[in-house]
Amino acid sequence: MARHEGRGMASVNYPIGMNLGGDPSQALIHSNPDGKFTVALSAIDLGQGMKQVSRQIAAETLGVPIEDVYVDTADSDTGPHDMGSFASRGTHRMGNAVIAAAREARGVLLDAAAEELEVNASDLVTDGRGNIHVRGAPSKTITVKATAQAAQFKQGKTIAGRGIFLIPLSAVDAETGEMNPNTAFAHACLVADVSVDDETGEVTVLRMTSAYELGRVINPRMVEQQLVGGAWMGISHALYETPEPYYPNPEHGPRDFNEYLMPGPGDIAPYHVTVLERPAPDGPFGGKGPGEMCANPVLPAIANAVYNAVGVRVDELPITPEKILRGIRANGGVKPGPRRGGAVNWR
């Protein structure tokens, strides 16, 4: 009885968002009398970082400090319409809507400042620190706060902007079958090293190494956070989780966290990620976003690594010890594949 090591690889081209009937997101931005801005979105931040990314995008486009932007999400009664947070569309779709709304609000902001400074709005620039001044003449200046107050108390203007980003429905061409369901693709390649125990059928993920191409990385730490957390989910889907282990018989299904298995903090593997940035032409500042693809390549990479280790091709998830032991028996024993590549020495 022995443990066998194996290496598997998987690559993915991952579509950002989907387009089943058109895919719109809207954003509304307005300034308050204190010169701070509220961004209203109906999409929800489940912890993936959409609020932070929207805040960065709004502040950058408005030309104001990031601490002066508040993002209000997830009230579909009062917020503008949004398809939702799914299909990895958050950064790309909401980000573009926020840019459109922030551009319009910035236009009104500069018009109001121009009226106060008695100059042409096209000569005005923002310094990103809460000031608006005439290009080349920094002494001719007004704060965003004073501008917001002048607009609201004197000029009778709302400093506000509306934004929508819409990928229109792309129908299938009857002649060619061609369609354009998506505008941005992200890419990844992941290598998993595993060890398979031929006595117990247990798989241990030894380490994973990946490269992700996600367009412009708008918040590097949050991208890393998504990739690391998502890879854990990938391991969990590959080796542990299922609501119906003996489908279609539901009686053996797990009913609670004692029975619904997931890797714990002692089961995680060292994971090394390299992020590549190829800005997307239609992305907000070139961003695409990580989303679900953080988990996706982990599953086939682990399945391939198991095959490489013991010669068992498991094509139903999760890859349980039982399936591996049945596979080894059906093959008449362990059939390790060729060892691939050298040792990984990044850790």
Contact residues for another protein, defined by CB under 8 A: 46-49, 221-222, 224-225, 228-233, 256-258, 262, 264-266, 268, 271
Shortest Cβ 232–another protein spacing (Å): 3
Calpha distance 62→104 (Å, rounded) = 9
Shortest Cβ 257–another protein spacing (Å): 4
**Which value, to the nearest 10 degrees, does the dihedral of the CA atoms of residues 14, 16, 18, 22 take?**
-150
Looking at beta carbons only, is 221 or 339 nearer to another protein?
Answer: 221
Shortest Cβ 251–another protein spacing (Å): 20
Looking at beta carbons only, is 117 or 231 nearer to another protein?
Answer: 231
Looking at beta carbons only, is 49 or 283 nearer to another protein?
Answer: 49
Q: How many CB atoms lie within 10 A of CB 248?
A: 5
Shortest Cβ 73–another protein spacing (Å): 13
Residue 10 to residues 292, 298, 339: CA-CA distances in angstroms? 15, 7, 16
264 Cβ contact list (under 8 Å, min separation 6): none
Looking at beta carbons only, is 148 or 217 nearer to another protein?
Answer: 217
Give, as one character, the DSSP assignment of residue 172. P
Q: How many CB atoms lie within 10 A of CB 199?
A: 11
Calpha distance 336→184 (Å, rounded) = 39
Shortest Cβ 71–another protein spacing (Å): 16
Find tokens 């489940």 and name the residue.
Answer: 46
Looking at beta carbons only, is 119 or 268 nearer to another protein?
Answer: 268
Shortest Cβ 278–another protein spacing (Å): 24
How many alpha carbons fall within 13 Å on the CB side of residue 147? 31
Using an 8 Å Cβ cutoff, are 207 and 272 in contact? yes
Looking at beta carbons only, is 108 or 238 nearer to another protein?
Answer: 238
Shortest Cβ 159–another protein spacing (Å): 30
Looking at beta carbons only, is 101 or 233 nearer to another protein?
Answer: 233
Burial class (CB in 10 A: 0-12, 13-18, 19+), 184: buried
Looking at beta carbons only, is 49 or 327 nearer to another protein?
Answer: 49
Cis-peptide into 80, omega within 30 deg: no
The candidate with the shortest Cα–Cα distance to 87, out of 4, 15, 194, 171, is 15
Shortest Cβ 224–another protein spacing (Å): 7
β-strands 131-134, 137-143: how paired?
antiparallel
